[in-house]
Structure 1
Amino acid sequence: MPDSPFLPEASAFVLRNARVPAAFLTDGVPAGALLDAEGCAAIDIVIADGRFGPLRPAGSSPQELPAADLAGRQAWPRLVDGHTHLDKGHTVARTPNPDGDFAGARDATSADRTRYWDAEDLRRRMAFGLACAWAHGTGAIRTHLDSQESGPEGGSQRDQAATSWGVFREMREAWAGRITLQGVGLTPIDAYATDYGRRLADLIADSDGLIGGVTRPTGGLHGGALAEIDALLDRLFGLARDRNLDVDLHVDETGDPAATSLDAVARATLRHGYEGRVTCGHCCSLALQPEAQATATIARVKQAGIRIVTLPTVNMYLQDRQRGRTPRWRGVAPVQELMAAGIPVAVAGDNCRDAFYAYGDHDMLDTIRAAVRILHLDHPLAGAPALAGPVPAAMMGLPHAGTIREGAPADLILLPARSLNEVVARAHADRLVLVAGRPVAARVPAYEALTGETAPW
């Protein structure tokens, strides 16, 4: 990150003439502050002892405080990634997906996990991903952790769930104060019908995690209607209730309109009285179902208080992929219809340089910029920033994350952009990240760190 000689060294100072999207001002726009045509407020931000002080209309902050003038440039909070896979990240070079499709991703991930995923390998790759996120300005991450039952490795057995969750707990402690981490158990849903599912639920509870999974059977793909889905969901919700665990599921990650697990999850949520405690990611098939069916499912999702996470870059990469054929749809959930129904929808990064998505850099600013274009979250742009800030923060139960509000930690991303259009138009490698009011002296790690090599510069 660049040096910031313009920032005062004092423990209390003002960022004058900041331009902040109103979507990040969860306590409201300061009275008298002017809003531009894109819904951004011109304000002065007081920072004292590492926290936000009063927010005032631009030009009205105390003159006696040292100040830095942002001259109308954008100030964002650190962003929130509510759905990623730190344990899978940065494996694409050693175990590629030959066709780039979902089946290839499943098989390549299984092979890579069986061959490589010991504690040292997980620790190195997860630390790399977190260092990228830290440098880019991500303040909170919820990561799903592959938690399949033990499999063979060199003639022995490795308890993958115990290994992965053990490393996750290490990372959560090591990164405390820099990035807030949450973990979700990820396994095919039929695992919860076995005694292993009960043991996994205990491990998740002992690790202060969330119970989760994918609404497809072991070795299978999303698609069609899973005959046992209601009984399997009842088992999962029962395990969750007995341990007071929230639920986060991968749902209907397919272009098959016959995949209706989202509706089944909504019904199960209502059946078990779990309203407001369930998050569902992907939900791609909902976009291809008949309008009346999709509308009824959306109404049930709203009634159940389910939160939706859309993963636009990864779903556009995976869905409708066939070798030699151009895809016919973007692969994403019907986000605008969900939001119109009053359902909280967040954008998240999902996979990063693994078999499910060959690209990415754990950069939520890049993700929200891509989401605007993929999901048509523009015209107007005003509401888009919330999908990477206060909305996922609320899903994660983090009231101060992803917002700019008095009393919260003064964590910011200062951007060399004056408008939301300029934010979306450019990658902004020259952004400045502040944590507790001070600049973060961090650069994204060199790729050589993944292999123990030394970078040439």
Structure 2
Amino acid sequence: MNDLSLFPSLAARLARPERIRLAKARVPVALLADDSPGGAEMDRDGSALVDILVENGRIAAITPALADGGEDTVALDGRHVWPLLIDAHAHLDKGHTMGRAPDSGGTHPGARAATTADRLAHWNADDLLRRMEFGLATADAHGVAAIRTHLDSHEGQAEITWSAFAEMRERWKGCITLQAAGLVPLDAYRDDYGARLADIVAVHGGLLGGVTRASGGTHGSGLGDIDLLLDRLFALAKERELDVDLHVDEAAQADALPHVARAAIRHGYEGRVTCGHCCSLALLGEQELRNTIALIADAGLSIITLPTVNMYLQDREDGRTPRWRGVTPVQELQAAGIPVAAAGDNCRDPFFAYGDHDMLDTWRQAVRILHLDHPYADAPALAGPAPACIMGIDAGTIGVDRPADLMILEAWSLDQVIARPHSDRVLLRKGIFANRTLPSYSMLTDFQTA
């Protein structure tokens, strides 16, 4: 059955709604900007049954669900309503090179080599713009409100890629909020190029970033002067008032995270540093884990887990089934009060052969991979308010006087949200029906195998 048959004339009614009441909407409290309105019926998953009043594209009121409606009412009958979601760690410049880049073998070293080969051969402005546009159109069709993308910023490439990003940010302004972080191996900050890159990032209002390994090396080796390199990075960031977002310890054995935490404290950067991946943290002994988490908390680091990509890359060996999931210990980090978000990371490139820029799908997989269920508690926050807070943007929640950027799901419980892909979701942007057709892969075929 088509989703619109469940909402009589929904598209027409939401085409230009000056006033509409979404009646009996079921919203996880973790996705409400404020506490659940007093008297709202709560279900066992921690979701409130509310009416959402939309006026002129903004949410005018959220009240306990009423028994009756009126001409301005769309009866949702307890279906889930979520905000549009946030992807705080992506790679729009790498995306959609599958079939063109060399085969990576599904390993981290293989992915680095394959990406380098593809970058050197193909990453001009036209190529980047076309693939970024495809990725953003896909994210838009899935209901993504904001993306922070890491941009490969090697010498000779950075100016091209950051210019393409700036064009995309302007083109998608008002629909998808875009941020970017520069991405280079940490030893790129050892010489004068580090300062030139910091200037490029500053011109574009980005974040200074990097990956805690040496050029051509692996996580956990090759950076005997890591503290000096981090001091250099933080000094460059501080001079330009840039926040920092790093790829950290994307391996089973690596120990850069405590160095990053201590550097943040040394430079007074508490609350301004985000660390993605942090895979090796999960394999520490219990006491070392507790000590490291305490240090992370003291440094005010935010952590982003990338469950789909880390499961794809970590512990992969030919002819051997992986023995661990590759993800960071999210539940322990959250218990310590550390901000944690889930994000999509790579999409159809050598680092991850799959994906579709769909944060609802990423969240559904994260709950299963990370065991964020029984009970679900505030698990929905990992794709909404948590990444929005990390990005410093006003999005990812449903609240009074906020834009009515919403998705309506054919689900009455969180287990139903997780069980299906929801290709029938209904999207509203500023209260207006905003479903879009996913871009066809045919848009990429003429250069996909070039």
The TM tier, using the shorter chain, reads over 0.9
Q: What residue is the counterpart of 1:266 in the other structure? A: 261
CA contact (8 A) 1:20 1:76 kept: yes
- 2:92 aligned with 1:86: yes
| Structure 2 residue corresponding to 1:285, chosen from 280, 287, 295 | 280
Sort the Cα spacing of 1:305 and 1:225 in 2 relative to 1 into closer, same or farther, 3 A. Answer: farther
Q: What residue is the counterpart of 2:151 in the other structure? A: 145
Shift of 1:185: 0.2
- 2:351 aligned with 1:345: no
Shift of 1:385: 0.7
- For 2:57 and 2:274, the matched residues in 1 are separated by 32
Shift of 1:441: 3.7
Q: What residue is the counterpart of 2:291 in the other structure? A: 296
- For 1:56 and 1:225, the matched residues in 2 are separated by 57
Mapping for residues 313-352 of structure 1, pairs under 5 Å:
313-352=308-347
Which moves more between the two structures, 8-17 or 108-117?
A: 8-17
**Cα displacement string for residues 222-248 of structure 1 (whole angstroms, at most 9, x for unaligned residues):** 124731110000000000000000000
| Structure 2 residue corresponding to 1:15, chosen from 16, 22, 29 | 22
Shift of 1:452: 5.2
- For 2:419 and 2:441, the matched residues in 1 are separated by 26
Q: What residue is the counterpart of 1:156 in the other structure? A: none
- 2:70 aligned with 1:75: no
Q: What residue is the counterpart of 1:276 in the other structure? A: 271
The letter for the 2-side match of 1:111 is A
| Structure 2 residue corresponding to 1:209, chosen from 206, 210, 213 | 206
Q: What residue is the counterpart of 1:360 in the other structure? A: 355
| Structure 1 residue corresponding to 2:66, chosen from 59, 63, 68 | 59
Mapping for residues 173-192 of structure 1, pairs under 5 Å:
173-192=170-189
What is the root-mean-square deviation of aligned Cα atoms in Å?
1.4
Shift of 1:96: 3.7
- For 1:110 and 1:439, the matched residues in 2 are separated by 41
- 2:407 aligned with 1:409: no
Sort the Cα spacing of 1:60 and 1:248 in 2 relative to 1 into closer, same or farther, 3 A. Answer: farther
Shift of 1:98: 3.8
- 2:31 aligned with 1:24: yes
CA contact (8 A) 1:225 1:261 kept: no
Q: What residue is the counterpart of 1:153 in the other structure? A: none
TM-score by length of 2: 0.96
- For 2:63 and 2:284, the matched residues in 1 are separated by 47
Shift of 1:149: 1.2
**Structure 1 runs of 4+ with >3 Å offset:** 1-4, 7-10
- For 2:241 and 2:369, the matched residues in 1 are separated by 36
Shift of 1:208: 0.4
- 2:234 aligned with 1:228: no
**Cα displacement string for residues 371-392 of structure 1 (whole angstroms, at most 9, x for unaligned residues):** 0110001111131110000000
Shift of 1:198: 0.3
- 2:252 aligned with 1:252: no
3-state SS, counterpart of residue 346 of structure 2: coil
CA contact (8 A) 2:428 2:435 kept: no
| Structure 2 residue corresponding to 1:398, chosen from 393, 400, 404 | 393
Sort the Cα spacing of 1:180 and 1:412 in 2 relative to 1 into closer, same or farther, 3 A. Answer: same
- For 1:242 and 1:306, the matched residues in 2 are separated by 20
Shift of 1:64: 5.5
- For 1:339 and 1:427, the matched residues in 2 are separated by 27
- For 1:383 and 1:14, the matched residues in 2 are separated by 26
**Cα displacement string for residues 384-433 of structure 1 (whole angstroms, at most 9, x for unaligned residues):** 1100000000000112x100000111000100001100000011100011
5+ residue gaps, structure 2, are none
- For 2:119 and 2:193, the matched residues in 1 are separated by 19
- For 1:298 and 1:195, the matched residues in 2 are separated by 34
- For 2:404 and 2:382, the matched residues in 1 are separated by 20
Which moves more between the two structures, 124-133 or 97-106?
A: 97-106
Q: What residue is the counterpart of 1:123 in the other structure? A: 129
Which moves more between the two structures, 95-104 or 133-142?
A: 95-104
Q: What residue is the counterpart of 1:103 in the other structure? A: 109
CA contact (8 A) 1:73 1:415 kept: yes
Q: What residue is the counterpart of 2:428 in the other structure? A: 434
Q: What residue is the counterpart of 2:382 in the other structure? A: 387
- For 1:360 and 1:203, the matched residues in 2 are separated by 30
5+ residue gaps, structure 1, are 151-159
Mapping for residues 157-172 of structure 1, pairs under 5 Å:
160-172=157-169
Q: What residue is the counterpart of 2:197 in the other structure? A: 200
**Cα displacement string for residues 148-200 of structure 1 (whole angstroms, at most 9, x for unaligned residues):** 112xxxxxxxxx10000000000000000110000000000111121111000
Shift of 1:69: 0.4
Identical-residue share of aligned pairs (%): 59
The letter for the 2-side match of 1:11 is E
CA contact (8 A) 2:17 2:432 kept: no
- For 1:391 and 1:337, the matched residues in 2 are separated by 16
CA contact (8 A) 2:17 2:56 kept: no
- For 2:130 and 2:445, the matched residues in 1 are separated by 9
Which moves more between the two structures, 179-188 or 290-299?
A: 290-299
CA contact (8 A) 1:84 1:349 kept: yes
